[in-house]
């Protein structure tokens, strides 16, 4: 019998090119964690192989029919926040259009932080991101939403965390600056010589004002490197204790499938899907405007006939009209 999903029920998936990690939460479980899975993708370049991995992941999670969030942050992606507190809907749309014209950014995400509202700008390949949702639907997942991995992991770290480095897979890693669990900026990084999956967190104070003004990609990378050096580097051991809601996530050794190093992003995505991580809207994508089509309404200028214009009718003068009144009319019919 299918149970109706309730608050506290949700599935989170960390999507990488080489592996899928999933966490399923259920409101009836003492620690809310119902199932955890880790499935490799045999051929990352083959769509059928990805769907097969998603099907196997769903089976290991117990074939859920609850809301699902898929967290992804592919190589080359970048995320920054802008303060849009107090802006109306049309003003937000104007800001999104400016981001598209200036930085070629078509994906954004709104996050409420008390009285403040932040607009997260997402510089990534929108077509690749949009292709993930149909694959998850084919595998049987329902009520799917795509979100950035930095947003997902920020839900399950302690409020004092200011710096995160996540090594998700070969060639997929990111650095994240956050303040009170709200992402400030994130940027992918190189993984050469690093062990994955891995998670490094820091609580050293960081001035979030360094990232104001939406710096360019090169400036953002330099800022990230400077901050990493200031908080102690990415390689020093760090505590990776996770929390969700009012509960602490149990500590497991790094090689355990349930460890924070493996499931931090999937757990954060599951918390968001279950409605336990505060209010975060889905990713908004600017769609192309139809007015950009080169030829509009070609039928409006199409030639309809080849006939010449009809001659204008002969005009009747005043004398002829007066004569017609007094001239007797010939009656039709037999005489």
pLDDT in tens, 244-281: 777 788 888 888 999 999 999 999 999 999 888 766 67
DSSP-derived 3-state class of residue 190: coil
- How far is Cα 23 from Cα 18, in angstroms, rounded to an integer? 17
User: How many Cβ atoms sit within 10 Å of the Cβ of residue 300?
Assistant: 6
pLDDT at 85 over 90: yes
Higher pLDDT, 48 or 1: 48
Query: What confidence score (pLDDT) does residue 232 get?
Result: 77
**What mean pLDDT is predicted for residues 124-136?**
92
Of the two residues 133 and 6, the one the predictor is more confident about is 133
Residue 122's nearest CA partner among 163, 81, 181 is 81
pLDDT band at residue 315 using 50, 70 and 90 as cut-offs: confident
Confidence of residue 27 (pLDDT cuts 50, 70, 90): confident
Instruction: Between 253 and 31, name the one with better pLDDT.
Output: 253
Distance CA 5, CA 225 (A): 43
Distance CA 163, CA 37 (A): 27
Euclidean distance between CA atoms 99 and 87, whole angstroms: 15
Q: How sure is the predictor about 1, in pLDDT bands with cuts at 50, 70 and 90? A: very low
Residue range 272-299: average pLDDT?
66
Res. 2: pLDDT tops 60: no
What are the pLDDT digits (tens) for 176-229? 999 988 999 999 998 887 888 889 999 889 998 889 888 898 999 999 999 988
Tell whether the model's pLDDT for residue 143 goes beyond 70. Answer: yes
As a CATH number, domain 10-285 is: 3.30.420.380
Question: pLDDT at residue 167 above 60?
Answer: yes
pTM of the model: 0.81
> What pLDDT is attached to residue 327?
64
Contacts of 334 (CB under 8 A, 6+ apart): none
Classify residue 80 by its DSSP letter: E
Q: How many residues in the chain?
A: 335
Query: Given this model, what pLDDT does residue 238 score?
Result: 54
Of 142, 122, 123, nearest to 133 by C-alpha is 142
298 pLDDT exceeds 70? no
What is the rounded average pLDDT of the residues 45-61?
94
Extents of the domains making up the chain: 10-285
């Amino acid at each position: 019998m299918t149970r109706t999903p309730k608050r506290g029920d949700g599935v989170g998936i960390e999507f990488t090119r080489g592996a899928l990690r999933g966490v399923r939460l259920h409101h009836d479980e003492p620690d809310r964690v119902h199932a955890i899975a880790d499935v490799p993708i045999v051929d990352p370049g083959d769509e059928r192989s990805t769907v097969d991995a998603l099907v196997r992941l769903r089976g290991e999670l117990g074939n859920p029919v609850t809301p699902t969030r898929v967290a992804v942050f592919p190589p080359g992606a970048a995320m920054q926040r802008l303060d849009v507190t107090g802006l109306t809907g049309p003003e937000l749309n104007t800001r999104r259009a400016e981001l598209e014209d200036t930085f070629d950014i078509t994906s954004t995400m709104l996050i409420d932080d008390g009285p403040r509202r932040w607009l997260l700008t997402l510089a990534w390949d929108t077509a690749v991101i949009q292709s993930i949702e149909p694959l998850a639907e084919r595998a049987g997942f329902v009520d799917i939403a795509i979100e950035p991995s930095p947003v997902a992991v920020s839900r399950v770290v302690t409020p004092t965390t200011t710096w995160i480095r996540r090594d998700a897979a070969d060639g997929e890693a990111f650095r994240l600056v956050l303040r009170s669990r709200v992402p400030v900026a994130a940027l992918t990084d190189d993984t050469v010589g690093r062990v994955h999956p891995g998670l490094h967190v820091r609580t050293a104070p960081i001035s979030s004002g360094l990232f104001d003004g939406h710096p360019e990609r090169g400036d953002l990378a330099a800022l990230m490197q400077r901050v990493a050096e200031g908080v102690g580097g990415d390689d020093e051991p760090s505590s990776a204790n996770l929390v969700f809601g009012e509960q602490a996530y149990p500590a497991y050794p790094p090689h355990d499938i349930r460890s924070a190093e493996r499931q931090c992003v999937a757990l954060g995505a599951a918390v968001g899907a279950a409605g336990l991580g505060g209010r975060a809207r889905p990713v908004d994508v600017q769609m192309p405007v139809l007015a950009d089509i080169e030829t509009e309404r070609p039928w409006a200028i199409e030639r309809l006939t080849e006939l010449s214009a009809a001659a204008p009718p002969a005009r009747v003068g005043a004398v002829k009209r007066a004569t017609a009144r007094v001239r007797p009319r010939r009656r039709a019919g037999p005489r």
